[in-house]
Structure 1
Amino acid sequence: MRGACPTPQGALKLPKESDGYVRAIERGFALIEALGRSPGRHTLSEAAVHAGLNRATARRMLATLVTLKYCEADGRYFRLRPRALGLGLSYLNALPFWGYAQRALEDLRNDIGESCALAVLDETDIVYALRLPARRILSANLGIGSRLPAHLVSLGRVLLANLPPEQRDRHLANTPLRSVTPRTIIDTDRLARELRLTQERGYAWVDGELDPAICGIAVPIRDQGGSVVAAISINLISGTVSEVAAKKRYLVRLQKTAQDIRTQSVSTS
């Protein structure tokens, strides 16, 4: 492939240049993602490696991004400029429920005094669209745009449970289940049963499967047609509340918030 390094192990096999696929756009986004990696500034060589490009291609792409004001050069280093933030905000602003969801989750967080979040599904991960901590029970590095394996958290369980059956089965078949904590479900059949149960009861409860100190309860957000488009959760300290107690204390309020978000997004669309 001209202009690119060998595909890193585990990377997606992307289409070749054609009338329906412009490789320059792929490379530009790869560089933007590379520059967004910690520590937030990278040399040409570092950016090229992270993006899977050779130095000559990366140099041209970075020069273009500098001209377009998506990044800037500082000596040997390149870093993103605020304009790059608009790429992510374009997605959030396009979500019909996002603006109202901020206020709704703030009200819920203030009412119950616990951390709340909203996420969407992206392939095998959830991506946070909102996260409102009430206390430091989750990593401070988690925020809007952060990703977590969907099958390990309550938000992801709800979203996976409401996929079409064939898509859900494909996800289960292609997702390696590795033990992260002693409570992590690593049996595919058991996880499949959990997803079916989640869909039947309308909420997900996950306790200590990603972090032994964290548990959470989540419910879906549906669009006007009834399809699940996102999920919201309340996150708690594991051991301070059981599933039965969490359901009794929080489920109705969580479901009401989800319904309010749906109703508001429908009325403003």
Structure 2
Amino acid sequence: MATVESESFVRALARGLRIIEVLGQGAPRQTLAEIAAACDLPRSVVKRFALTLTELGYTGQDGKRFWLTPKVMTLGLSYLYALPFWRQAQLALEELSAEIGQSCAMSVLDGHEIVYVVRVPTYRILRASPTLGSRLPAHAVSMGRVLLAAAPAATLDAYLASAPLRRLTHATITDPDALRAAVGTVRETGTAWVDAELDESICGLAVPVRDGDGTVVAAANVSLPTGTFDEARARAEFLAPLRQTAARIRAAM
């Protein structure tokens, strides 16, 4: 594995990608000085990389400020198109959402967070409604619990030792031992129910999505308004169609 100290680590590539990240996280248009400060790099170095990215079509510039162009989207879409189940998952979750009248999504685990690879909203529950590519802390959401439950023991141990288990609401589990127990329950039942741990207004029911070999490659969920649904009602109304949808995605792989 390449590390920052290893001979196989390409520092120039890492710096170019970091500049793209900074331009995507800060103000829409940024000066070289602003980018350099955010990247902790010399301005002269940032200038060379920014001009190279402009030549390649990933950034635009007006002589003073730089910004991302739509070509950057191809980097993220390349990942989605490489997933053997993505197109079928998009269709399957759209049909599930239409059938049950609720928001549905699919995500994968990346470090301490889940990343949405499919999102089919029906109405806004969260103040900042997740979209394709959105990240949420894995410990506080149902899909995160499913993905952590599917992880090898060593991976779960490393997560519990390093993840910032921030308290987001009064209900958020922040104790590593309590979270391990919750994940263990998900592993036994094959489903996860999380209520008001990310936001007071939302709860969710999630199941694993497996490939042809039975390996968990993603998680799918139904998002619901807290108070309107409790766990018993959610399982009674949505667990069967959610599992059927996961099976349909698996069959397409």
TM norm. shorter chain > 0.5: yes
Counterpart residue type for residue 225 of structure 1? D
Alignment partner, residue 151 of structure 2: 163
For each residue in 1:17-49, what CA deviation from the matched residue of structure 2 results, as whole angstroms up to 9, or x when unmatched? 62x111000000000111111432211111122
Alignment partner, residue 227 of structure 1: 215
**TM-score (normalizing by structure 2):** 0.96
For each residue in 1:92-146, what CA deviation from the matched residue of structure 2 results, as whole angstroms up to 9, or x when unmatched? 0000010111110100111111111110000110011111110011244521111
Q: In 2, distance between residues paired with 1:141 and 1:242?
A: 21
Q: In 2, distance between residues paired with 1:65 and 1:149?
A: 31
Instruction: Spell out the pairing of 1:122-141 with structure 2 (5 A cutoff).
Output: 122-140=110-128
The answer on 1:258 being equivalent to 2:246 is: yes
Q: In 2, distance between residues paired with 1:16 and 1:27?
A: 15
Q: In 2, distance between residues paired with 1:222 and 1:159?
A: 11
The answer on 1:21 being equivalent to 2:9 is: yes
3-state SS of the aligned residue for 2:122?
A: coil
Q: In 1, distance between residues paired with 2:37 and 2:129?
A: 24
Per-residue deviation at 1:257? Answer: 0.3
Counterpart residue type for residue 157 of structure 1? R
Instruction: Spell out the pairing of 1:165-244 with structure 2 (5 A cutoff).
Output: 165-244=153-232
RMSD across aligned C-alpha pairs, in angstroms?
A: 1.4
3-state SS of the aligned residue for 1:79?
A: strand
Which stretch has the larger CA shift, 176-185 or 247-256? Answer: 176-185
Per-residue deviation at 1:75? Answer: 4.2
3-state SS of the aligned residue for 1:36?
A: helix
Determine which of 26, 30, 34 is the counterpart of 2:22.
34
Aligned partners of 1:17 and 1:23 also within 8 Å: no
3-state SS of the aligned residue for 1:184?
A: coil
For each residue in 1:220-259, what CA deviation from the matched residue of structure 2 results, as whole angstroms up to 9, or x when unmatched? 1111211111011100000111111101110010000001
For each residue in 1:180-226, what CA deviation from the matched residue of structure 2 results, as whole angstroms up to 9, or x when unmatched? 11001122111111101001101100000010100000011111211
For each residue in 1:149-183, what CA deviation from the matched residue of structure 2 results, as whole angstroms up to 9, or x when unmatched? 10110010100011011211221122232321100
Determine which of 89, 96, 105 is the counterpart of 1:101.
89
Aligned partners of 1:119 and 1:127 also within 8 Å: yes
Aligned partners of 1:203 and 1:217 also within 8 Å: yes
Aligned partners of 1:116 and 1:132 also within 8 Å: yes
- Using a 3 Å threshold, how does the CA distance of structure 1 residues 17 and 55 change in structure 2: closer, same or farther? farther
3-state SS of the aligned residue for 1:231?
A: strand
The answer on 1:87 being equivalent to 2:60 is: no
Q: In 2, distance between residues paired with 1:227 and 1:52?
A: 40
Aligned partners of 1:16 and 1:23 also within 8 Å: no
Alignment partner, residue 120 of structure 1: 108
Q: In 2, distance between residues paired with 1:213 and 1:140?
A: 12
Determine which of 55, 70, 86 is the counterpart of 2:58.
70
